[in-house]
Amino acid sequence: MPVNDPVIAEQEPAADFTIDQKWDRYTAGEHAIWTTLYERQMGVLKGRAAPEHFAGLDMLNLNEGGIPDFRRVNEKLEKLTGWTVVTVPGLIPEKDFYEHLANRRFVSGRFIRDGETLDYLPEPDIFHDVFGHVPLLTQPVFADYMQAYGKGGLRSLEFDAIKHMARLYWYTVEFGLINTPEGRRIYGAGIVSSRTESIFSLEGKSPNRLHFDLERIMQTDYRYDDFQQSYFVIDSYEELMEATYADFAPIYESLPGRPEYKPSDLLDTDRVYSRGTQDYARKGGLLGDAEPV
């Protein structure tokens, strides 16, 4: 939680960790940072992001300039897919996070990064949460997938399988790629909201690009502090939904006896789109270097 945000500090979160956005308390400088990030990303994402992302931005009028007011966003979003965006002070417990998703509530931080850390921050801010995640919630199939993920996450608590569900979220919702008639595109919010990883994930020679495999992903660790060493690709959002709609209990029960894979591992059973050199990770990573290596 950004302790230097007085709007957050002065609020006592509700039992579900939500707080008021207090949109009128954002400063002109904070609105300017959003606009800078938005305009810069729109330039980078042309020909790289999934068309559904651009459609969602338009449907929710996220292109009006400045930090969006969730009251206005929710008027449109709820009519489209029954989702709303709620504000939280920072990272919240897994159970509460899953409960929000299972009830079609997407949690967003209130704070926005400062002008000195436009390219990277360790905790997601409102630009990542709203620009990155919310547009796809306008799409019925993806909206259903997110709710199903929340329900699956709640079930995972019974089997001590939180880390496996975190991996699924990471490699799909945050860092997923999708095949489209126009070519491979980005749909994951962690990439969409990052200028440098938008280039690296699609054009870099370093990472592997593999086809989506639910159980394989659940057995695969990930990089939380740098560009990914492997990206998983789906053919459609329906593919995600079909995989997630199943009862995960048998998978959860079998996972403790299965091998754990490193982020760079390639298996004989993988459907490989591109075998990465892994040069970026081998050199220690640069985090912010936009050159495709």
**Do residues 164 and 221 lie in contact, with contact meaning Cβ atoms separated by under 8 Å?**
no
* CATH H superfamily, domain 12-280: Aromatic amino acid hydroxylase (1.10.800.10)
For residue 50, which of 120, 126, 135 has the smallest C-alpha distance? 135
Element containing residue 80 per DSSP (H, E): helix 70-81
| Cα gap 201→198, rounded to integer Å | 6
211 is in an annotated binding site: no
Domain ranges of the chain: 12-280
| Surface-to-core class of residue 64, CB atoms within 10 Å of its CB (0-12 exposed, 13-18 middle, 19+ buried) | exposed
Per-residue pLDDT of the chain (293 residues; tens, 9 = 90+): 454 688 999 999 999 999 999 999 999 999 999 999 999 999 999 999 999 999 999 999 998 889 999 999 999 999 999 999 999 999 999 999 999 999 999 999 999 988 777 766 667 899 999 999 999 999 999 999 999 999 999 999 999 999 999 999 999 999 999 999 999 999 999 999 999 999 999 999 999 999 999 999 999 999 988 999 999 999 999 999 999 888 899 999 999 989 999 999 999 999 999 999 999 999 988 665 545 55
**Do residues 263 and 171 lie in contact, with contact meaning Cβ atoms separated by under 8 Å?**
no
For residue 168, which of 265, 241, 106, 92 has the smallest C-alpha distance? 241
| Cα gap 255→156, rounded to integer Å | 12
128 is in an annotated binding site: yes
182 is in an annotated binding site: no
What is the reported pLDDT for 51?
Answer: 98
